[in-house]
Amino acid sequence: MIRKVYYIFFILITFLNVTITNAQHYQFSQFYAAPTYLNPAFAGANACSRLSLNYRNQWAQIAGTYETFQVTLDHAVKKYNSGFGLQFFSDKAGLGSLKTTQFNLLYSYEIKINKVYGARAGISVGGVQRSIDYSALVFGDQIARGGAANTLDNVSTLRKMYIDMAAGGLFYNENAWIGFSANHLNNPNQSLQGSESRLPIELKLHGGYKFTFEGDESNGSKQNPHRNSITITANYKKQSKFNQIDLGLYYSKNYV
């Protein structure tokens, strides 16, 4: 009996996510490890080409787990003060196999304000496909009919495709940065049932500061000191009536 209640609970959660939730997003605990998702202005921010891989499996020990995978490749073109990037997402949520696949093109432009400060602006434009397999769900009429194999409701595997746009900006110096980004600028309609379910704009305000210090010098040489740093980061998100604050801290030694 408890097991049946458990499955009904997750069926309801999945169904609500499809029909009425306007704020379903990919979520990474270490947001600073997915910089171009945090803000498209980070595209090409590294001196070298950068490949980023992110994976999250939330609540892995229960049915209807949430899995998110991201891969991003970005590259700086210093000649044009520009950065370019490609971004791919794959997300699966709930027992109903609610799947989201997204592919984005990223572009950023850098301005040197003076020898100390700089600024970047970036945009992201991509295509999204969402789908759900209703055959993976158990409906009320199936339970009422003693566990029937199929529902009497007229349902099928549904798909929805739409364009999604985002933009952001950064202001920074050697050790600190502050940025602002906005997702879903075009308020895309994500409904799988032919109705209106538009994504409200998601706003992000983020920043960080890197404290650098020198460790012991190698063989007494001042040319190759052990360079260490501790970086603190923060990200505030707001969408409709929902708010979230994430904090991060990480340490690096030399190139590790």
pLDDT band at 221 (very low <50, low <70, confident <90, very high): very low
Question: What is the C-alpha separation between 235 and 71, in angstroms, rounded?
Answer: 21
Q: pTM above 0.85?
A: no
Q: Indicate if the pLDDT at residue 217 is higher than 60.
A: no
What was the pLDDT predicted at 168?
A: 97
Residue 184 has φ and ψ, to the nearest 5°, of 60, 45
pLDDT per position as a tens digit, 162-216: 999 999 999 999 899 999 999 999 999 988 877 888 999 999 999 999 998 875 5
Q: Which H or E run contains 98? A: strand 98-112
**Which residues have CB under 8 Å from 79's CB, separation 6+?**
none
Question: What is the C-alpha separation between 24 and 46, in angstroms, rounded?
Answer: 30
pLDDT per position as a tens digit, 85-141: 999 999 988 776 788 999 999 999 999 999 999 999 999 999 999 988 776 777 777
Q: What is the mean pLDDT of residues 46-56?
A: 90
Q: Which H or E run contains 144? A: helix 140-144
